[in-house]
Amino acid sequence: MLKDRWGRPLLSLRVTLTHKCNYRCIYCHMEGEEGLSAELSAKHVRTLALAAKELGIGKFKLTGGEPLIKEDIVEVVSSISGVKPLDLSVTTNGYMLNELARDLKRAGLKRVNISLPTLDRSTYKSITGVDGLERVLEGVEEAIKVGLSPVKLNVVALKGFNEGEIWEIVDYARRRSLIVQVIELEPIGRGEGVFRRLHADLDDFERRLKTEAVTVIHRRWTNNRPQYFLKNGAVVELVKPIHSGEFCKHCTKLRVTASGHLKPCIMRSDNLIPIMEALERGDVRAVKKAIIAANSLREPYFS
């Protein structure tokens, strides 16, 4: 197992497959990346997975843009699952999940995170630029049906848009035995331009969580995020990264950009390591060396 200078293990890769997206969310952090034209193929991702496995990295999360709009997304999932990872998940806006969930499950996808900032159709369109709430809710049900587990709902708290209905989303998730991740807006990507206006303080929400929780688990090597198990059966995870030393202290991920770079931290773009040429060649050894180098550059952004 690789560890950085702070003793944090490197357990997972967060892989941006594409920057293309069928949404225009007002808060999108774009994975902290720049440059919007490149994509990673199934061949690239398999080489990456082989290198990661040899280094003891067993978790993969596929992101975008919107990863499900890639024509080869099922092949991409299959190329990683064939390497037998410990965990393989995807983060999606859910618009195409209803039609793809079964094929993704068969290809080896284990679980899914679905962005669901609101249950109100009009608000949803205002946030995402797409009248897609009904399709997304169908996708949620299909993900449950085909056995993707757990299904998590990502709710970015946005002042003036959805902060008053987060508990409604929690109840919706509770009735379907889903996990809700309530996420603090980050000042990167499009979020940087709207941060002051849309950033919602989650302190009151957190206080109520603590009051209603029967159990709280801190997921140590997932940024030490607290997971609250409430009296009514709901499960809520709170993601508060801004100025959080604890959040950074327990980071165990390395990012891979769609342009073929290793990115040690979402908040920085000044220490990227290029690997696209090695991915094109299928050079597992070179990718391993690059991962080791990138891991040495990982450091807490908020200390």
In a domain, 258, yes or no: yes
Query: Which range marks the domain in which residue 19 is found?
Result: 12-297
In a domain, 4, yes or no: no
The CATH number of whichever domain residue 130 belongs to comes to 3.20.20.70
In a domain, 3, yes or no: no
Q: Contact 76/89 with Cβ under 8 angstroms?
A: no
Mean pLDDT per 10-residue section of the chain, whose length is 303 residues:
94 96 92 78 98 97 96 98 97 98 98 98 98 98 98 97 96 98 91 91 95 91 83 95 78 95 93 97 98 96 81
Q: Contact 269/34 with Cβ under 8 angstroms?
A: yes
In a domain, 196, yes or no: yes
In a domain, 265, yes or no: yes
- DSSP one-letter string for 40-76: --HHHHHHHHHHHHHTT--EEEEESS-GGGSTTHHHH
β-strand partners of 216: 228
Please count the structural domains in the chain: 1
Buried b (16+ CB within 10 A) or exposed e, 117-144: bbeeeebbeebbebebbebbbbbbebbb
pLDDT at res. 231: 97
Q: Contact 146/174 with Cβ under 8 angstroms?
A: no
In a domain, 2, yes or no: no
pLDDT at res. 167: 97
Q: What are phi and psi of 285, to 5 degrees?
A: -60, -45
How many Cα neighbours within 13 Å face the side chain of 270? 3
In a domain, 303, yes or no: no
pLDDT at res. 243: 64
In a domain, 264, yes or no: yes
pLDDT at res. 43: 97
- Integer Cα distance of 107 and 258 in angstroms: 21
- DSSP one-letter string for 109-140: --EEEEE---S-HHHHHHHHSS--HHHHHHHH
